[in-house]
Structure 1
Amino acid sequence: YDVVALEISDPRVTLTQLQHAPVEATLRNIADQLAELEELVSQAADPTQQKLLANLDGDFERWDDNGAPVGWSVSSLPQVHIGRSIDLPHSGKFSLLIENRSKSSAAWIQSRPVAPPRTGRLAVQAWLRAPAVSEPLLVRLSLIGRTRTGQRFERSALLGGRNDSSAPIAIDWGRKPLTLYVGDIPTEETVELVVSIELIGPGKVWVDDVQIFESLLQPDERNHLRGQLLVANQKLAESNAYPAEKLLDSHWGQYLLRYGPLMKPEGKVAQGAPAAVATPSRPVGPQSSWSESPSVLRQLRESLRDRWRR
Structure 2
Amino acid sequence: AAAVEGELRSAWLAWRAEQIAMLHQGVARIVAAQEGWNYYIMPTTLMFAGSVAERMRPAVAGQARDQAILYELGLDPAALTRPKNAVFVAPRLHAVTENDIDAAAIATANQSASMSAWERRALRRGLVLLEQPKQVDITAVIPHGPFDASELSVPSVVHAVSGGAKRQESLLLGLATADAEVVFDQSLRWAELTMSDAAVRQAFLSFPVRNLQPVEGVPDDFPVRFVQGNEAAWLLVGNASRMAAQVDLSLAAAATGVDVVTEQTLSTVDNQLEIELMPWSLRVIRLAGSGTDMRPLSGIVHFEEDAVRSIEESVADLRQRQAVLETPPQIPVLDNPGFDLPSLGGGVTGWEVVEAAGGLLELIDAPSPAVGDGEKNQAIRMTSVGDLATVRSNPFQPPQTGRLSVAVWLRLPPSVPQPPLRIAVEGVQGSEQYYRFAPVGAAAGGRPLQEGWNRFVLQVTDLPSDPNESLRLRFDMLGPGVVEIDEIEVYDLVFNQEQQNQLHVLLNEMESELADGSTAKVLSRLEGYWPRFLQAAVSDEQAERVAKRIARREERRVKAEEEATEDEGFFDRARSWWR
Q: Which runs of 5+ in 2 are unaligned?
A: 1-244, 250-267, 272-297, 371-375, 548-579
Choose the corresponding residue for 2:378, options 94, 109, 118. Answer: 94
Partner residue of 1:251?
529
Paired with 2:303 and 2:521, the residues of 1 have a C-alpha distance of: 14
> Any conservation in 2 of the 1:142–1:157 contact (CA below 8 Å)?
yes
Paired with 1:230 and 1:60, the residues of 2 have a C-alpha distance of: 43
Instruction: Say which one has the larger Rg.
Output: 2
Q: Which runs of structure 2 are paired with 1:18-97 in the superposition (5 Å)?
A: 30=311, 32-44=313-325, 48-49=328-329, 51-52=331-332, 54-75=333-354, 77=356, 80-90=359-369, 93-97=377-381
Whichever residue aligns with residue 122 of structure 1, its letter is L
Whichever residue aligns with residue 3 of structure 1, its letter is V
Q: Which runs of 5+ in 1 are unaligned?
A: 10-16, 270-310
Paired residues in the alignment total 255
Paired with 2:453 and 2:523, the residues of 1 have a C-alpha distance of: 44
TM-score (ref. length: structure 1): 0.64
> Are residues 132 and 211 of structure 1, via their aligned partners in 2, closer, same or farther at CA, if it must alter by over 3 Å?
same
Paired with 1:166 and 1:227, the residues of 2 have a C-alpha distance of: 34
Q: Which runs of structure 2 are paired with 1:227-266 in the superposition (5 Å)?
A: 227-263=505-541
Instruction: Indicate the SS of the match to 2:339.
Output: coil
Instruction: Indicate the SS of the match to 1:267.
Output: helix
Paired with 1:267 and 1:110, the residues of 2 have a C-alpha distance of: 33
> Any conservation in 2 of the 1:141–1:180 contact (CA below 8 Å)?
no
Instruction: Indicate the SS of the match to 1:153.
Output: strand
Displacement of 1:97: 0.8
Choose the corresponding residue for 1:127, options 401, 405, 409. Answer: 409
Provide the alpha-carbon RMSD of the alignment: 4.0
Choose the corresponding residue for 2:438, options 157, 162, 185. Answer: 157
Whichever residue aligns with residue 488 of structure 2, its letter is V
23-32 vs 244-253, which deviates more? 23-32
Cα shift readout 1:218-270 (whole Å, capped 9, x = no counterpart): 5475454333223223444444445433322323212321231332697269x
> Are residues 8 and 36 of structure 1, via their aligned partners in 2, closer, same or farther at CA, if it must alter by over 3 Å?
closer
Instruction: Indicate the SS of the match to 1:135.
Output: coil
Instruction: Indicate the SS of the match to 2:348.
Output: coil
TM-score (ref. length: structure 2): 0.37
Instruction: Indicate the SS of the match to 1:136.
Output: coil
> Any conservation in 2 of the 1:127–1:207 contact (CA below 8 Å)?
yes
Greater share of helix residues, 1 or 2?
Answer: 2
Q: Which runs of structure 2 are paired with 1:170-209 in the superposition (5 Å)?
A: 170-174=450-454, 176-187=455-466, 191-209=469-487
Paired with 2:479 and 2:340, the residues of 1 have a C-alpha distance of: 26
> Are residues 23 and 7 of structure 1, via their aligned partners in 2, closer, same or farther at CA, if it must alter by over 3 Å?
closer
Identical amino acids, percent of aligned pairs? 19
> Any conservation in 2 of the 1:43–1:261 contact (CA below 8 Å)?
no
Which structure ranks higher in relative contact order (CA pairs < 8 Å, sequence separation ≥ 6)?
Answer: 1
Displacement of 1:140: 0.8
Displacement of 1:86: 0.6
Instruction: Indicate the SS of the match to 2:246.
Output: coil
Partner residue of 2:246?
2
Whichever residue aligns with residue 96 of structure 1, its letter is I
